[in-house]
Structure 1
């Protein structure tokens, strides 16, 4: 009887202990399968011109900076294809030998001069940008590092511009030149991995209005910007 009584006590104690031990409950991790690649972007470029007049040259490093935000809108189930649009600001600086000055009557005059004929010459502009792009990437909801190819069109409005020419005798500063095409547009493409991406933009619209000439020849300069673009979530 003592043995049976001891066994009953042991079983009762084990049952009570088992009741006190609760199974471990692991937290449920919610996976965001409806993620977006909304991103801030920042680009740094070397600025060039195409469709240049005879004897046109650039010197020094013509710097371009831009930044803004893009809203991502996936269009397939795996969210690897998307359309994005956004808003940004840009600063473009050009060193070249297309001089902008004023004649005796005060009218804006243009020329293409040798570098020995002036001390310094620069054109710069500030613009609001509206990029619209088609996106491909091999991203997943688990990783922010992936390959991408983004391409589209960029619309720009130049809200401020200035040119400064120092010919050694006089300095000509022309702000918001009325001959500048304020509305600019052109295609661009960026491609790369993770944060680092190559970037190139080609302007389809001339920088100057059609009536702008040098020695009777139309100035048809268009912009070409090449460099790096960084995307930050």
Structure 2
């Protein structure tokens, strides 16, 4: 909740700056929508085993810059290419642990197990590619938009953490996470406020991960808000 409060405060502050910049803009017939973006999402699992469940709010925070390249005379259709960073956590009942020899195991926690924290987090460098449509003009800065595209991500760091009946442990060297992620994305909305959806096309874990005899082929689904800043 603290992260969510900080995010909302940042959006309110940035929106005021953005509004002031728009007042001071000189009309430019060759305008572009070069944009910084910041977003928050709730992270979900797709294709998860039946007994695996999530609890609470699994947060994702996203920020970056997208270079806008109009492809028509009205400049309301464009291609966007950018770079960004995101951190994503997943609160769930999948225990990731190691034995005394360092072998990693995956177990779905029973309901009778008590724990205060069980989650994993991933830090990603991201390369978004978007096809962009909007109703903007050289003098109209509040407009409808639909941006759809593809996002390539590289995981450069991760953590898994457990605190509960079984003890307290944290790992940063689990090799079964897929370092590369590929996803479809969609942003749609009006002005600075936009609904954002992300659907990963490959699994969070590598193909050799199993839990209770089932292959763990879960993918990431993210739903939230994306805030654009000119």
Larger deviation, residues 171-180 vs 32-41 = 171-180
Which protein has the larger Cα radius of gyration, Structure 1 or Structure 2?
1
Measure how far apart 1:62 and its partner are.
0.5
1:4-51 residue CA offsets vs partner (Å, 9 max, x unmatched):
xxxxxxxxxxxxxxxxxxxxxxxxxx7411100000001100010010
**TM-score normalised by the chain length of structure 2:** 0.86
Alignment of structure 1 residues 179-190 onto 2, 5 Å: 179-190=176-187
Query: In structure 2, how many angstroms separate the alpha carbons of the residues matched to 1:110 and 1:144?
Result: 50
Deviation at 1:174?
Answer: 1.4
Relative to the length of structure 1, the TM-score reads 0.85
CA distance in 1, matches of 2:29, 2:80: 18
Distance in 2, matches of 1:189 and 1:169, equals: 41
Q: Is 1:218 aligned with 2:203?
A: no
In the alignment, structure 1 residue 92 sits paired with structure 2 residue 88: yes
Whether the 8 Å contact between 1:97 and 1:115 is mirrored in structure 2 is no
Q: Distance in 2 between matches of 1:184 and 1:118?
A: 32
Match of 1:37 among 26, 33, 38: 33
Question: 2: CA distance between counterparts of 1:176 and 1:205?
Answer: 21
Can you give the 5+ residue segments of structure 1 that lack an aligned partner in the other structure?
Answer: 1-29
How many correspondences in the alignment?
A: 205
CA deviation vs aligned residue, 1:86-121 (integer Å, no higher than 9, x gap) = 000001011000110012432011011124314120
Distance (Å, rounded) in 2 between the aligned partners of 1:217 and 1:46: 25
| CA distance in 1: counterparts of 2:173 and 2:131, whole angstroms | 33
Q: Does 1:124 align with 2:121?
A: yes
In 2, the alpha carbon distance for the partners of 1:172 and 1:111 equals: 15
CA distance in 2 between counterparts of 1:80 and 1:167 reads 53
Number of the residue aligned with 1:5: none
Moved over 3 A (4+): none
Residue pair 1:185, 1:203 contacting (<8 A) in 2 also: yes
Q: Distance in 2 between matches of 1:78 and 1:153?
A: 24
Q: Which residue pairs with 1:142 in the alignment?
A: 139
Which residue does the alignment assign to 2:67? Answer: 71
State the superposition RMSD in angstroms.
1.4
